[in-house]
Structure 1
Amino acid sequence: MPEISLTVLILLCLAAAAAGWIDAVVGGGGLLLLPALLLSLPHVPAAHILGTNKAVAIVGTSGAAVTYVRKAPVQVGTAVRIGLTALAGSMCGAFFAAGISSAVLRPVIMVALLAVGAFVMLRPAFGRNEAEDTAPVTRARIVTAIVLVGGGIGFYDGLFGPGTGTFLVLALTAVLHLDLVTASATAKIVNVCTNAGALAMFAYQGTVLWQLGALLAVFNLAGAMAGARMALRKGSEFVRGVLLVVVFSLVAKLAFDQWSV
């Protein structure tokens, strides 16, 4: 583990807890923890930062997934099928991650997040109540979710990662007509699989700081379980509000990172 001051370590632990909370409610926790790791460990190769982030994220996401499955109406079979495809996609993405520059990906992610935020603002009923959408969840929609949501977002998660949970929530809500709480619950199961696939590849390549990851994972797990319980208690309108705050905050952060260099 690289040498880290106590102050920086405490700040990283707090960032991991906050990222776990955000990720459990609506996804996107990686857009908080990943920049924190990059800023705190400027001399550590990017592949090691990405690998360590996955080691942290999989623990918090798994804790949130267990909390959701016990209390939310999740279609576990569908979630697992999407997740297995996402696992394969994330392994492929992680394989190519070493050659990717974050400066190239930031503008793409900013545009995608702005589109997500605008869509949610213009569609206030989006994801509020599954029963309001009468379109049937056909086999074709499930196949679309498996291939595009699982494979596509899974590949992105292995390649870069930040915002994956947010993209999963929005995609699952749109394709499978889930309310936002159920979509968040389903996304957690899928996200466990994408994290597992990417982490397996990073571990194989030897690009994980295991000691640091284990410490941050404890705080990430605590934040994730607290966030999942709060989302279940407060419902879809709360999740929608957090989603909008997270999306526009993260766009601002990415813009600052992109143009302050």
Structure 2
Amino acid sequence: MEWIIVSLASMLAGFVDAIVGGGGLILVPALFATFPAAPPATLLGTNKSGSVWGTAIATLQYSRKVRIRWHAMWPAAVAALVGSFLGAWAVTLISGEFLRKLLPFILICLLLYTLAKKELGKNHAPRFEGRREVAIACAIGLTVGAYDGFFGPGTGSFFIFLFVRLLGYDFLNASASAKLMNLASNASALVLFGLKGHIWWHYAVALAVSNVIGSLAGTHLALKHGAGFVRGIFILVVSALILKTGYDAFLR
């Protein structure tokens, strides 16, 4: 029964993750509920062992249909990987409790801004070229990557919002670019968890296959329906993140 529950959760997580990120909202709680006695690090590592494959497939699928601005995104992905390592290192030195309480309010501001700016992310009109675009993309990658390593919830949503707001991408192109960033930060976390022995490899294959199936479905819908559809799912996921992080910070 455990295999069925976590595989279905992984499939749904892959579906949501492929569109706007936020799959961890589904798979991580499912793993913790199914295996309440397991070490948290092992469940987080097992989550990464499945989700990284769905993210990789989504990145590949998007790259075939969307003109990802590789000249800026490759350096930004490297910056995200470095940031993720730095964030993971920082969390061993300082507490993330302040960020836990601040995060719901940051997400509320992000949601309100997106709702108020109805044209935000509807048209793909990159604001910068050359080195300036690379520099801003790398700054986003490093900052959000560090956040992902340090804390994590909403990483994909932050990448998408900043690509839309700062670089002028539409939601579809921002989501495609965010997949590459997520792949870099997830891969670094997966290596760390693997080296520490915090992955249940006997569940990894089932989670990976399910996540890829969900990812293919989510990518197909995003590419078919475009930026407006991605924007709508983005709003739903950010709203769910506000509820989840608010509960974790003040009620649990």
Question: Equivalent pairs: percent with the same residue?
Answer: 37
TM-score, with structure 1 as normaliser: 0.88
* 8 Å contact from structure 1 (residues 137, 176) kept in 2: no
What amino acid maps onto 1:172 in structure 2? F
After TM superposition, give the deviation of residue 105 of structure 1 in Å. Answer: 4.7
What amino acid maps onto 1:123 in structure 2? K
Structure 2 residue aligned with 1:120: 114
Which string of whole-angstrom CA distances, capped at 9 and with x for unpartnered residues, describes residues 52-90 of structure 1?
A: 222122101000000000111111232111001111111
Are 1:219 and 2:210 matched, yes or no?
yes
Q: Following TM superposition, where does structure 1 have runs of at least 4 consecutive aligned residues deviating by more than 6 angstroms?
A: 98-103
Partners of 1:115 and 1:161 in 2: CA distance: 18
What amino acid maps onto 2:24 in structure 1? G
Partners of 2:96 and 2:32 in 1: CA distance: 11
Number of aligned residue pairs: give it.
Answer: 252
* 8 Å contact from structure 2 (residues 6, 207) kept in 1: yes
Structure 2 residue aligned with 1:10: 4
Are 1:230 and 2:230 matched, yes or no?
no
Which string of whole-angstrom CA distances, capped at 9 and with x for unpartnered residues, describes residues 126-164 of structure 1?
A: 110024x7x4446334302202x1111111222332311
* 8 Å contact from structure 1 (residues 60, 221) kept in 2: yes
TM-score, with structure 2 as normaliser: 0.90
Equivalent residue for 2:185, pick from 194, 204, 211: 194
* 8 Å contact from structure 2 (residues 22, 157) kept in 1: yes
Structure 2 residue aligned with 1:174: 165
Unpaired runs of 5+ residues, structure 2, are none
Structure 2 residue aligned with 1:28: 22
* 8 Å contact from structure 2 (residues 52, 183) kept in 1: yes
Partners of 1:138 and 1:79 in 2: CA distance: 12
* 8 Å contact from structure 2 (residues 51, 207) kept in 1: no
What amino acid maps onto 2:202 in structure 1? Q
CA RMSD of aligned residues (A): 2.2
Structure 2 residue aligned with 1:109: 103
After TM superposition, give the deviation of residue 259 of structure 1 in Å. Answer: 4.7
Partners of 2:92 and 2:58 in 1: CA distance: 29
Say if 1:227 and 1:64 are closer, same or farther in 2 by CA, change over 3 A. Answer: same
What amino acid maps onto 2:7 in structure 1? C
Say if 1:98 and 1:209 are closer, same or farther in 2 by CA, change over 3 A. Answer: farther
Structure 2 residue aligned with 1:3: none
Structure 2 residue aligned with 1:142: 134
Equivalent residue for 1:85, pick from 79, 85, 101: 79
Which string of whole-angstrom CA distances, capped at 9 and with x for unpartnered residues, describes residues 88-134 of structure 1?
A: 11123334556787866543332222122111101111110024x7x
Say if 1:88 and 1:110 are closer, same or farther in 2 by CA, change over 3 A. Answer: same
* 8 Å contact from structure 2 (residues 149, 189) kept in 1: yes
SS at match of 2:153: coil
Say if 1:16 and 1:194 are closer, same or farther in 2 by CA, change over 3 A. Answer: same
